[in-house]
């Protein structure tokens, strides 16, 4: 098997998934604001060290997505973060897009930028230890959204990014996120997600991307967060699986869901319900940001004396999601955290 396919497979190894710790400066500031901690370079470094140094997390975490600043930072003892992760058998990754910007001549739709100079940046990131990358595009659901224009321009850019990654020996995670805000139904979410995936795999194929060396990081199919009658875990699992069976080629080794604002326990329960219906043509795993970090962030509060409690909280979420990889999660397992 070639290196890209091997790395992709290792990222979705049994019982494991990915930690997304690649919050941009603006996003990490928002997270720190929620716990009243100033977003300084050293606070960001200390927080990321807390996560990466958590003993035993590597039993459930196969890879970590870093931000440009983070891949260049080191632990307090001077060990560069990519080296710290590698020493635990965790694969370092890197967010390479430059964010979702207004798409010209649309009503508030976005196009993700960052292709200029990407070949050179990928070469540098590989030198720094990155073996996989991430590029996120976003889409909204409304009567006229996502537009064909937004769907296809983002699919084209995602495929250009993915081709450059494969050329550089880096596994591309393609992340088309259909935002689940609003009052839409489960069916509307499925329809928008299906259109986005269909365009994405058309462009990836046309741009000669080898699917076996990629991973997909999508939203789950959900009722809108503000919808009145929201679907439960079984319906979410069935609608999401139906959509992905139609639109994601079996050559893709793994689907690593984002959490996208679901509560941490919902994100775990949904993944579990899908895996309980397996086996599937692809591994179904996680690449969560908020759903892995929220309790740890809250426990930390920016205080060194809380590092251990924060690490326990992060370890627990990693373990719960590890269980959801095999359909063995049960909500009663949540009580274990309090018992430690």
Interface ranges with ligand 13P (CB under 6 A): 20, 136, 175, 258-260, 288-291
Nearer to ligand 13P, 44 or 290 (CB): 290
Peptide bond into 6 cis (omega under 30): no
Q: Which residues pair with 137 in a beta bridge?
A: 176
Residue 247: how many other CB atoms lie within 10 Å: 18
Alpha-carbon Rg for the chain in angstroms = 19
Instruction: Decide if 175 is catalytic.
Output: yes
Q: CB nearer to ligand 13P: give 195 or 290.
A: 290
Minimal CB distance residue for ligand 13P: 289
CB of 316 to ligand 13P, least distance (A): 17
Instruction: Answer yes or no: are the C-beta atoms of 8 and 215 closer than 8 Å.
Output: yes
**98 vs 210, beta carbon nearer ligand 13P:** 98
> Of 9, 95, 134, 217, which residue is the catalytic one?
217
Query: Which of 256, 292, 270 has its CA nearest to residue 51?
Result: 292
Which residues are within 8 A (CB) of 141 and not within 5 positions of it... i.e. 6 or more apart? 178, 179, 180, 182, 184, 188, 189, 192, 224
- What the block records as the tokens of 13 is 């190894």
List, in sequence order, every residue forming a beta bridge with 111; answer none if it has no partner.
101
Which residue stretches of 135-220 are H helix? 148-168, 186-206
DSSP 150: H
Q: Closest CB to ligand 13P among 66 and 307?
A: 66
Element (H, E) at 315: helix 307-324
Closer by beta carbon to ligand 13P, 184 or else 290 = 290
Structure tokens at 114: 């960052």
CB of 169 to ligand 13P, least distance (A): 22
Shortest reach from residue 2's CB to ligand 13P, in Å: 26
Residue tagged active-site, from 175, 177, 203, 319? 175
Q: Which residues are catalytic?
A: 175, 217
């Amino acid at each position: 098997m070639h290196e890209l396919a091997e790395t992709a497979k290792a990222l979705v190894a049994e019982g494991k998934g990915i930690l997304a710790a690649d919050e941009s400066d603006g996003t990490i500031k928002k997270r720190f604001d929620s716990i009243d901690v100033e977003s300084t370079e050293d606070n960001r470094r200390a927080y990321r060290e807390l996560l990466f140094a958590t003993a035993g997390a590597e039993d459930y975490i196969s890879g970590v997505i870093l931000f440009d600043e983070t891949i260049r930072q080191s632990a307090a003892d001077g060990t560069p973060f990519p080296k710290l992760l590698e020493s635990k058998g965790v694969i370092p990754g890197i967010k390479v897009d430059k964010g979702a910007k207004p798409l010209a001549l649309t009503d508030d739709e976005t196009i993700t930028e960052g292709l200029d100079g990407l070949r050179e940046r990928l070469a540098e990131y590989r030198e720094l230890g990155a073996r996989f990358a991430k590029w996120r595009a976003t889409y909204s659901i409304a009567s006229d959204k996502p537009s064909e224009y937004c769907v296809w321009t983002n699919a084209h850019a995602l495929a250009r990014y993915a081709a450059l990654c494969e050329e550089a020996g880096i596994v591309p995670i393609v992340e088309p996120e259909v935002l689940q805000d609003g009052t839409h139904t489960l069916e509307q979410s499925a329809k928008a997600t299906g259109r986005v995936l269909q365009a994405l795999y058309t462009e990836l194929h046309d741009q000669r991307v080898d699917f076996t060396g990629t991973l997909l990081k999508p939203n789950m199919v959900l009722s809108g967060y503000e919808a009145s009658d929201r679907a439960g875990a079984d319906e979410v699992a069935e609608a999401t699986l139906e959509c992905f069976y139609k639109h994601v080629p079996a050559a893709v080794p793994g689907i690593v869901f984002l959490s996208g604002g679901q509560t941490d326990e919902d994100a775990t329960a949904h993944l579990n319900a899908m895996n309980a219906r397996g086996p599937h043509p692809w591994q179904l795993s996680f690449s969560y940001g908020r759903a892995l970090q929220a309790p740890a962030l809250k426990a930390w509060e920016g205080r060194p004396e809380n590092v251990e409690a924060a690490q326990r909280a992060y370890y627990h979420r990693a373990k719960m999601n590890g269980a959801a990889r095999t359909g063995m999660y049960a909500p009663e397992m949540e009580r274990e955290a309090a018992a430690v």
